[in-house]
Amino acid sequence: MGTNSKYSLSNGNTYPLIGVPWGMHYWTPQTGKNGDGWQYSYTADKIVGLKQTHQPSPWMNDYGQFSIMPVNGLKFTEEKRASWFSHKAEVASPYYYNVYLADAGVTAELTPTERAALMRFTYPKSDSTFIVVDAYNKGSYIKIIPEQQKIIGYSSKNSGGVAPGFKNYFVIYFDKAFTVSKTWRANVLVSDSLEISADHAGAIVGFKTNNKEQINVRVASSFISFEQAEINLQKELATKNFETIKTASKNAWNKELSKIKVEGGSLDQRRTFYSCLYRTLQFPQKHYEITADNNVVHYSPYNGKVLPGYLYAGTGFWDTFRALYPFLNLLYPSINIEMQQGLINAYKEGGWLPEWSSPGYRNVMIGNNSASVVADAYIKGLRGYDIDVLYEALKHGAGNEGPLDAVGRRGVEYYNSLGYVPYDVKINENAARTLEYAYDDFCIAQLAKKLGKPQTEIDLYSTRSFNYRKLFDNESKLMRGKNKDGSFQSPFNPFKWGDAFTEGNSWHYSWSVFQDIEGLKNLMGGNAAFVNMLDSVFKMEPIFDDSYYGSTIHEIREMQIMNMGQYAHGNQPIQHMPYLYNYAGQPWKSQYWIREVMNKLYQPTPDGYCGDEDNGQTSAWYVFSALGFYPVTPASNQYVLGTPLFNKATLYLDNGKQIVINAPNNSNDKRYVHSLFFNGKNHNQNWLNHFDLMKGAVLNYQMSATPNIKRGTTKTAYPFSLSNQ
């Protein structure tokens, strides 16, 4: 799902990710050129290698990657070793990959563990079969040790976000002796040495094979050392056979995927649901390793040292604060406790919380949304880590510009003195920054309250939570960039993407007041005016001004082609917006549009997403929405109601309790909530309380073909907003 994507149009920008949940290394068949972010394209004809990858998205690209490829003949360059393949002769599952590499006549199989993988190549009869190892360019090393049937090496390729000296050390064992051993450098075979360091180093080893003869390849790697790579291999593969590893890897997925059981719906809806759930369990990746003495250690991309404790890498909080992290807090809290410990380490080692880690600080996107990730976890009850250090880290990030634009707060002095980042002071995407800082301040204030911090601190951040008001333009009823002198930006085109906003226009970003939808509603003119504004998003023509970018970026194209007006579900800023009718007495319109988005914009197909999936965020939207609720305001205790998709869903919580969601008469024709009973009591609110759910709960829905225009219409039904506190 999502693999049929390209630079100009993203249908997900995913790749077939073969690994175990949150594993340190993933694997994918590589169809693109070395270094191309589009490492797998569904429409490609040829595979050039089975690639170890840590790539969160094509836009971030990869690090530490290398690949292994069976071939027929002494062919090692990308072009010559590439083999035709067919999806009809390919099995792609989370825990197992199988493809027939036609030009080599080899069936290649792969099954992974957290830090290793087992490959099995079934060869034809030949005295000229080979396996190529490609350690990529930008500084790599290879050593062939024929007497041990072993190749070691490292890849230091990266896309930034690492300390000097970064390497991914790999060890590869073969269960058959080599008849030929050669290293290669770029396009040239090296005849005189089994050990080379080069910009682009590789190995090719040969075998004589009988018909259907299988060669097993055991591979593990480490960001720490060759010794640790050997330990990773011993711990995870040892001498276990292919079927044993495959079964264990399948079980690892089923353990996590079975935390939600859905019943009813169509086969396509169930496939979409579990495909989305699979995508929520991948990033950020474990970036730590286990020593021989069973201690947790990690290579720090922040300072280059090997240090004790957890670390995770590969997520952009701008995307994932919205639904992915709240989803972990509901169903997978223990993994997020490790992630929070990793954030503490990142702060200690690099001086800042990362906003986009891959694996260390990357300079993309905006905001200071680590505040949401940290606050939501603690407020939702996660414990077992030093929250005071994280609170200090949040204050540090909120109060300072970082060494990169994308850590700390760019324009913080303006924000703190004026209450907004001005449009005319050469800080781009200033209105988006202001809106996100104000929400982030709300998160810090909520955490400060929970931790009993001094009232002056609580007040400071609480007051700043209302800074969104500074950018509200009464004339357009939208958020608008504001100059240093207090005048609004002019000219102002609410359909202009970027500029004052980030990968969206004012119609997308004006809803980014997660903490106070009631306050936003009142600025827009109350219930009727607010609903009219929401309706307008879906009704307007999908016109756009792309002059800020100079071309039509893919996110714009994805909005333009969906026939949903200005609604741009393919990118994150507006994804919570369909839920906002709940704050204005017309929850049935939320129900209508949420079901519409689920039905239309998600399919269990290679073009099944409507834009970048983005490391679990766009998938978590679907998973939450299919369950019937969504965290519009992380760092509050509430989920806002939508419309459940299935006849029944059961959530198995970490604490042993269950949430059962029954909607027995649910169907595509009955998308509206007629009534909801929560633990047997009529539930008239348009929200659910997190802690009520965590006690175990039964939700009984009566669905209907027509809206119940009496349910959820009064102010007492509205979800959390700061202005109502």
Q: Least separation, in Å, of the C-beta of 215 and Ca ion?
A: 41
Q: Which is nearer to Ca ion, 473 or 612 (CB)?
A: 612
Q: Which is nearer to Ca ion, 5 or 140 (CB)?
A: 5
Q: Which is nearer to Ca ion, 12 or 265 (CB)?
A: 12
Q: Which is nearer to Ca ion, 206 or 578 (CB)?
A: 578
Q: Least separation, in Å, of the C-beta of 493 and Ca ion?
A: 22
Q: Least separation, in Å, of the C-beta of 631 and Ca ion?
A: 18
Q: Which is nearer to Ca ion, 249 or 505 (CB)?
A: 505
Residue 473 interacts with Ca ion (CB under 5 A): yes or no:
no
Subset of 313-372 contacting Ca ion (CB under 5 A): none
Tokens linked to 465: 């939570």
Query: How many residues form the binding site for Ca ion (CB under 5 A)?
Result: 3
Q: How far apart are CA 670 and CA 592, in angstroms?
A: 10
In contact, 395 and 444? CB cutoff 8 Å: yes
Distances (CA, A) of 346 to 140, 160, 404: 27, 16, 15
Q: Least separation, in Å, of the C-beta of 365 and Ca ion?
A: 9
Q: Least separation, in Å, of the C-beta of 611 and Ca ion?
A: 6
Q: Which is nearer to Ca ion, 114 or 614 (CB)?
A: 614
Q: Indicate the pairing of strand 658-662 with strand 697-704.
A: parallel
Residue 614 interacts with Ca ion (CB under 5 A): yes or no:
yes
Long-range contacts of 661-669 (CB under 8 A, 24+ apart): 661/627, 661/628, 661/699, 661/701, 662/698, 662/699, 662/700, 662/701, 663/628, 663/701, 663/702, 663/703, 665/702, 665/703, 666/264, 666/265, 666/701, 666/703, 667/703, 668/595, 668/599, 669/705
Q: Which is nearer to Ca ion, 59 or 652 (CB)?
A: 59
Q: Contact region for Ca ion (CB under 5 A) — 324-332, 375-383, 597-605, 614-622? A: 614-622
Return the residue matching tokens 């072993």.
Answer: 150
Q: Contact region for Ca ion (CB under 5 A) — 239-247, 390-398, 468-476, 564-572? A: 564-572
Q: Least separation, in Å, of the C-beta of 546 and Ca ion?
A: 16
Lay out the site mask for Ca ion across 169-208 (x = CB under 5 A, - = otherwise): ----------------------------------------
For residue 248, the cross-strand partners are none
Q: How far apart are CA 533 and CA 586, in angstroms?
A: 13
Among 612, 683, 697, 718, binds Ca ion (CB under 5 A): 612
Q: Contact region for Ca ion (CB under 5 A) — 102-110, 246-254, 381-389, 563-571? A: 563-571
Q: Contact region for Ca ion (CB under 5 A) — 211-219, 281-289, 303-311, 569-577? A: 569-577
Q: How far apart are CA 661 and CA 647, in angstroms?
A: 8
Q: Which is nearer to Ca ion, 47 or 568 (CB)?
A: 568
The type of residue at 714 is T
User: Which residue intervals of 495-575 are DSSP H helices?
Assistant: 506-509, 517-524, 527-539, 554-560
CB under 8 Å to 80, separation ≥6 — which residues?
A: none
Q: Indicate the pairing of strand 83-84 with strand 46-47.
A: antiparallel
The total of other beta-carbon atoms located within 10 Å of residue 669's CB is: 9
Distances (CA, A) of 240 to 115, 118, 149, 264, 392: 15, 9, 17, 39, 46
Q: Least separation, in Å, of the C-beta of 571 and Ca ion?
A: 5
Q: Least separation, in Å, of the C-beta of 5 and Ca ion?
A: 12
Q: Which is nearer to Ca ion, 368 or 467 (CB)?
A: 368
Q: Contact region for Ca ion (CB under 5 A) — 136-144, 218-226, 244-252, 610-618? A: 610-618
Q: How far apart are CA 325 and CA 649, in angstroms?
A: 21
Q: How far apart are CA 604 and CA 335, in angstroms?
A: 27
The total of other beta-carbon atoms located within 10 Å of residue 41's CB is: 16
Q: How far apart are CA 109 and CA 120, in angstroms?
A: 5
Q: Least separation, in Å, of the C-beta of 3 and Ca ion?
A: 17
Residue 558 interacts with Ca ion (CB under 5 A): yes or no:
no
Among 28, 249, 345, 571, binds Ca ion (CB under 5 A): 571
Q: Report the SS3 class of residue 674.
A: strand
* DSSP annotation of 724: G
Q: Contact region for Ca ion (CB under 5 A) — 49-57, 290-298, 341-349, 613-621? A: 613-621
Q: Which is nearer to Ca ion, 14 or 637 (CB)?
A: 14
Q: Contact region for Ca ion (CB under 5 A) — 94-102, 234-242, 426-434, 608-616? A: 608-616
Q: Which of 446, 433, 382, 508 is nearest to 633 (CA)?
A: 446
Q: Indicate the pairing of strand 66-72 with strand 126-134.
A: antiparallel
Q: Which is nearer to Ca ion, 112 or 616 (CB)?
A: 616
Q: Contact region for Ca ion (CB under 5 A) — 64-72, 189-197, 419-427, 571-579? A: 571-579
Q: Which is nearer to Ca ion, 516 or 612 (CB)?
A: 612
Residues that bind Ca ion (CB under 5 A): 571, 612, 614
